[in-house]
Amino acid sequence: MKINNFSTEIFAGINNRNYQFKDGLNILLGDNEAGKSTVINAIYASLFVNPQLKLNTTEGREFKEKFLPYPDGDFAEAEIEFQAGNNNYKFYKKWSNSNYRGFLELPDGRRIEKVSKIKEYKNDIFPYGKSTYNNIVFSSQQDIKSTLKRINAEENPELIDTINSFLRRAVMELDGISIDKFRSKIENELEELTKKWNLKADAVQNSSRGVNNPYKVGTGKIYDSYIAREQLRSRIKQSQINERKYEELGLEIKELKDKEARIIAEIKKLSEIESEINQRAAVELEIDNLSEKVNKMTQIAKKWPDLKSELSKLKLNQEAESKKIEKLKEEIKRAEKLNEKQKISEQLELINTSQKKLAELENLKTEFTVSPSQVKNMERYKNKIAAAEASLKAAKLRAQLNYSAAESIKVSTGVEGEKIISEGEIFEADGYLRIKTKEIDIEIESAEIDFKSLKTEFKENQQKLEKLKTKMKVDNLSQAREKLQQLTEIKGKIEVENDKISELLAGKSIEKLKAELSKLAELQPAREADQIREEIDRLTSRRADLKTEIKIRENKIKEFKEDYGSLTLLKSELKQKENKIDILKQKLKDLASLPQKYKSTAEFISNLKARREKREMINQKLREKMNKHKELENVLPDTSTREMEAEFKELKQKLEKQKNKAQNLLKIKRVFENKLEEMDQNSFQPLVNTFSRNLEILTAGKYEAGFIDSDFSIKIKSSQSRELPGKFELLSYGTYDAAALALRLAIFDNLFSEYGGFIILDDCLVNFDPERRKKAVKLIKEYQEKYQIIYTTCDPERADEFEANIINI
């Protein structure tokens, strides 16, 4: 494989570049910072970096940071033409987070854009994986020194597997098959297939490390395929959801765009006449204002003479109403005196009636022998009796006669009298108990009270209470209160009648009232005062209405004069305004007509504003939908759901093939196990031979390779056969560079001898002394006969040491 041409429009700090590469040695010559490394990075990216930059990955973030043009560039672009076998291919890539593109052009001119299909072709075109090219083909001179550190099974398993699988050459062969290679291949393939997978149970070794918690490292192909299949199943499900949302959003966006386009067209059409419609609106408003004033002035011109006539009539009516009211006032005075006569007669009659009732009540009052103080004393005696009883009951005593030889036993309890009790009877007493028989007389008092004092107080208050009841002629307190209430009511009635007489007299004597009545005996008849007042009120109201009407007309005429001066001036101003309206109407004819569907210019202006607001709302919604659409697009997988379903089917088939292959490999391993254990071949000998030859040339015979074992541990030895450990950093810079370059060329030669290829050498002779540089130039010239070499340098003298295609950067 070799590169024919590379071109780029823009990539990092370079742009508009095109470089032709030839067979053999090509030298990129340019000053430091001229862009040599950028060209190499662009070639690598053209072959191995996907155009879609996923910024949630390290590769995507680093690419954007390093290779998108500074400061605001959002894409990089390159094209590379190369030859693999006898066929020519072309890769075009435009790297971006959103606006990305890429294709592979086949020898027959077809272009492949689908990522999964490009991947299939790349597997056929490139003999090794991306990591092998990155670490062997594209390593810089600085990286050459660390290549030895990176080549170990733990840090770079893909690279070491590649080297092992192609560099182990069987020294002893059985029927043309390398036993060591075959054994290693079986073991490696079994290991690669079955790590973390229980082949017998056909399941993950640890059930807790399935698809939801997978191993990150140390897994086999069967496990990986199983996890990949299940993860793909999950991605398919999520992809179906996202694709459906994506399609729905797409339809919504299309609909919104259509709506926006329609409303923009409508706005554009209306905007063409907007200015004249606004003028029309202003003119129409002025006409409306003038018309309103003209109408008002026309009405005033008609109304002004009528107001003067109405004012004269109203004033005459007002004068007539005033005369009628004066006559009615004379009549109402006579009616009021007649009412006064009637009132005095009624007063004297009521006074006579009250005096008779008062005499009856005074006679009834003498029959009651109760007073408030007596009732109050009665209540006090009763309360004291109740308090004594309460004290006695608070010291209650209880007794039971269990046995007695006496025929009768008398018991006094509290303040009650004696009673006879029988054997076994239970009895109670309030504070005092006395038991008497013929033989004994026992008194028991409560220690908590003074029974004798209480009993004395109880008796005294009972006697006072009885004496008071006799005096008041009542049986109990309720009767006393009732009699007192009746007496109070009688007194109240007496007071009411006295108040009524005083109120009727109103400070006068009965004799004076009778004298006033005598004076009013000869009055002439009159209508009822209320009837007269009603008529006066009616006439007064009419007169007030007339006054209001007069005032209204006077104010209106005054207002007309203040506004217009006179009727003549009013008519003159009216004519001027009518002429101005005619001029404005003529101006309207010169402006754009209002579209028929609008009833008014205000509706046109409002509608246009509403359309603009609606357009802004649609545009806002469209931007939101497009942002969501872009977010969904970024999370959509590189392949469609249908492609993933096809991939799922392939993964399923692949998983079954891997399981079958593992079973077959187990059978093969058992058959060849004994023979493989007997063999111990040094499969790295071809690499050792090439490395040793290269090292001997580059160090002028001072060093050669000693040994490379199966875990890629390297030892070198000097010309005196003294073996040294493979820690190249302990050597001098020149020897370290020579050893690293020798090993790298040896690995490259062993990897690509059957396929051909190209290798990048980044000014790898800087630390070589003149003698070693001559040897290195000779060695590189040898390799350019078999491979395409791209050598970068900033030193023109270095370039002149080679016979090469010099490309100036």
Q: Which of 33-47, 187-201, 218-232, 393-407 has the highest mean pLDDT?
A: 33-47
Which CATH number among 3.10.129.10, 1.10.10.60, 3.40.50.300, 3.40.50.2000 corresponds to the domain 157-166+683-800? 3.40.50.300
According to the model, what pLDDT value does residue 349 have? 85
The position carrying tokens 């200015």 is: 275
CATH fold for the domain made of 1-126: Rossmann fold (3.40.50)
Taking the C-alpha atoms of residue 623 and residue 627, their distance in angstroms, rounded to an integer, is 6
Angle at which helices 141-150 and 733-752 pack, to 10 degrees? 70
Mean pLDDT of 718-747: 69
Angle made by CA atoms 171, 175, 181, in degrees to the nearest 5: 45
Q: Which residues pair with 758 in a beta bridge?
A: 788
- Mean per-residue pLDDT of the chain: 83
> Residue 562 pLDDT > 80, yes or no?
yes
Tell me how many helices (H) and strands (E) the chain has: 21, 23
Provide the terminal-to-terminal Cα distance of the chain, rounded to the nearest Å: 24
Lowest model confidence (mean pLDDT) among 403-412, 750-759, 771-780: 403-412
The position carrying tokens 């908590």 is: 448
Whole-prediction pTM? 0.41
**CA–centroid distance for 330 within its chain:** 88
Residue 189: half-sphere exposure toward Cβ, Cα within 13 Å: 18
- Helix (H) or strand (E) holding 392, with range, is helix 372-394
- Helix (H) or strand (E) holding 18, with range, is strand 14-20
Across 401-452, where does the E strand assignment appear? 409-413, 418-421, 426-430, 432-436, 441-445
Mean pLDDT of 35-47: 94
According to the model, what pLDDT value does residue 143 have? 64
Q: Which residues pair with 522 in a beta bridge?
A: none
List, for residues 436-479, the tens digit of each pLDDT value. 877 787 777 777 777 788 888 888 888 888 898 888 888 888 88
> Residue 166 pLDDT > 50, yes or no?
no
**Can you spell out the DSSP letters for 692-711?**
HHHHHHHTTTSEEEEEE-TT
**Omega within 30 of 0 (cis) for the link into 71:** yes
Mean pLDDT of 746-761: 91
- Helix (H) or strand (E) holding 598, with range, is none
The dihedral over CA atoms of 326, 327, 328, 332, expressed in degrees to the nearest 10, equals: 100
